[in-house]
Amino acid sequence: MISVRDDLRALEGYHSPQVDVRVRLNTNESPFPPPQEWATEFAEAIAGIDWHRYPDRGATTLRAAIAALHGVNAANVFAANGSNEVLQTLLLAYGGPGRTVATFEPTYQLHAQIARISGATVVEGERNAEFRLDPAEIQRVLGTYAPEVTFLCSPNNPTGVVEPAAVVMELIESAPGLVIIDEAYAQFSDWSALELVREDRPMVVVRTFSKTWGMAAARLGYLVGPSWLVAELDKVVLPYHLDTAKQLAGTLALRYVVAMDDRVRFIVAERERLAAGLAAHPIDVIPSGANFILFRPRQMAGRALWEGLLAHSVLVRDCSGWPRLADCLRVTVGTEEENTAFLDALAAVVSAPSPVLSISES
C-alpha cells in the first residue's frame, strides 16, 4: 500500500456543502453572470482559436489589460487559474518545508490549507472580539515566529471586516518576509491596499474574477506586486497553465468595467439593506466591506437559525461550527428578490422558531 506524505495525512479537504434550495446565498458568488455582450464577444473569440497551438505562455495581452486597469506595468501582474492558484504559486515559491506562514484567524481557510500542502508550518494569530487585528497581536506573531509569509485577508472572509490602511501598513513594516493581501472582495469596500504596492516592498495584492466579475466558472485570478517577485512566480508555475480560452475570457471581461462598477454599487446598496434588516432583530451584525455579511443571533443557536432558513428553502453558510465563530452564519448578497426572500424567511424564523429539522449539510 502506498501512503500519502506524512504531513498530509491529517489534512481534510476544503468543503463548501451544497443543498438543493430555492435561494442560494452561501458561496459569495455574484448573483449576475457577465454582460450578454461579453458572452457574444467571447463566443466569437473562441471560434478563432488555433487549437493546435499552445497558448501565449506569458498571457501578455491579459496581463497588459489587467495592468492597465490598475495603472501598473504588465511586469507587475501575475495571473493564474483562480486566485487560489496565485496563492499556491506564491506558497511554492516563498513557503514550503522549513518555512513559516502566519494567518490571523478566523480567516479564509485555504490560506492555511495551501500553506500546509506546500510543506510550510502554519502559525495562527488571533483577531479580537470585533474580528479586527490588534497591533500587539501583530507584533507578537511576527516577533515570535518571524514568518517568511504573512497573510491578511481584507475584506476578510468570512467576517467581512476591512482593515484600515494604518493597520495594513503596520503589518507590512513589521513583517520580516512577504505579506500577501487577499483582496477577493476589495471592490465592495472603500479602500484597497493596491496603492501600497511598490517595487521595493515585499508585498502583493491578490484579486479574483470569481466574485465581482461574476466569472467563478472561468477560474481566473491575479496579483499585483513587485516585478522581481512576478519573475520568480513565472519560474515556479507550470508552463502554459493559462489556456487560451481563459486568457480571452479575462481580457474581454475587462472591457466591461463600467457595467461591473454598476453591479458593485447595486450589491453594496443591497448589502446595506440586508444589514439593516438583520439588525432589526436580536442579531449581531458584523460591519462588512464585502458582498456578504456575517451575523450571530443573540437569542437562538446559530445552527437552529440556519436550519430554520433552510426550511424556507434559503441556504446561507453555516459557520457556527467553525473555530472562533460560534453561532455565526454568513449570507451572500444576492438579487433583490433573493435578498427579500432571505429577510422574509429570517423574520419568520426569528419570530417563531420552527421545530429543529434534521437536515444535514453534506
Ligand X SMILES: *Cc1c(COP(=O)(O)O)cnc(C)c1O
Question: Given the rule CB under 6 A, which residues bind ligand X?
Answer: 28, 82-84, 108, 153, 157, 182, 184, 208, 210-211, 216, 221
Residue with cell 485555504: 110
Report d(CA 96, CA 256) in Å as an integer. Answer: 38
Shortest Cβ 298–ligand X spacing (Å): 26
| Helical (H) or strand (E) element with 87 | helix 82-94
**Alpha carbon of 128 to those of 132, 217, 247, 349: distances in Å?**
5, 35, 41, 30
Q: What is the DSSP letter of 161?
A: P
207 versus 296: smaller Cβ distance to ligand X = 207
In angstroms, what is the minimal distance from the CB of 110 to ligand X? 7
The nearest distance, CB 301 to ligand X, in angstroms, is 25
**Residue 239: beta bridge partners?**
none
Beta bridge partners of 150: 102, 179
Smaller CB distance to ligand X: residue 34 or 277? 34
- Smallest separation (angstroms) from ligand X to the CB of 183: 8
Question: Pairing between strand 221-224 and 292-297?
Answer: unpaired
CB-wise, 293 or 343, nearer to ligand X?
A: 293
Of 216 and 301, the one with the shorter C-beta distance to ligand X is: 216
Nearest distance in Å: CB 81, ligand X? 8
Alpha carbon distance 103, 54 (integer Å): 37
Tell me how far apart the alpha carbons of residues 220 and 210 are, in angstroms, rounded to a whole number.
7
CB of 245 to ligand X, least distance (A): 17
Q: Shortest distance, CB of residue 351 to ligand X, whole angstroms?
A: 32
Q: Do strands 283-285 and 292-297 pair parallel, antiparallel, or not at all (unpaired)?
A: antiparallel
Tell me whether residue 152 or residue 346 sits nearer to ligand X (CB atom): 152
Strands 23-25 and 314-318: parallel
Residue 78: phi and psi, rounded to 5, are -125, 130
- Closest residue to ligand X using C-beta atoms: 82
d(CA 337, CA 314): 12
Closer CB to ligand X, 205 or 304, in the complex:
205
Q: Name the residue nearer to ligand X (CB basis): 204 or 343.
A: 204
Grid cell, residue 225, equals 506586486
Of 82 and 202, CB closest to ligand X = 82
- Please name the residue that has the C-alpha cell 419568520: 348
DSSP for residue 314 = E
- CB 248 to ligand X: min, Å: 18
